């Protein structure tokens, strides 16, 4: 089982705990308990999808930032990589 599934089930269990206690005391019938558990599971799936979307957005943003920093390592006007000697230095005036 994935961590996302386990976390979703944990959230649903935590949200439906009051209903479980009401069922054990006899205040709630089984059909109502199952309804509460399914609603809690639905909301936890929605919450996990929002969380996954936010994590994916931050991951994409970090990848874009790292790529832009890699592009900054290239010499302006040349195609030298930062691993080559002299990379990152500005060219003297008059040389393009």
Residue entry with tokens 């479980």 = 20
Which residue ranges make up each domain of the chain? 3-72
Give residue-wise pLDDT tens across range 40-87.
999 999 999 998 899 999 999 988 888 887 776 664 555 554 455 555
Single pTM value for the model: 0.58
- Give CA separation, 38 vs 22, 57, 79, in Å: 16, 29, 58
Name the H helices within 1-96.
Answer: 3-25, 30-72
Q: Is 74 helix (H, G, I), strand (E, B) or coil?
A: coil
5 Cβ neighbours under 8 A, 6+ residues apart: none
Give residue-wise pLDDT tens across range 9-28.
888 888 898 998 898 898 88
């Amino acid at each position: 089982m994935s961590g996302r599934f386990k976390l979703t089930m944990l959230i649903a269990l935590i949200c439906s705990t009051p209903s479980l206690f009401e069922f054990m005391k006899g205040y709630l019938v089984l059909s109502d308990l199952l309804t509460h558990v399914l609603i809690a599971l639905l909301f936890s799936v929605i919450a996990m999808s929002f969380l996954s979307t936010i994590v994916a957005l931050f991951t994409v943003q970090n990848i874009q930032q790292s790529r832009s920093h890699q592009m900054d390592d290239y010499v302006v006007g040349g195609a030298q990589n930062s691993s080559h000697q002299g990379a990152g230095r500005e060219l003297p005036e008059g040389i393009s």
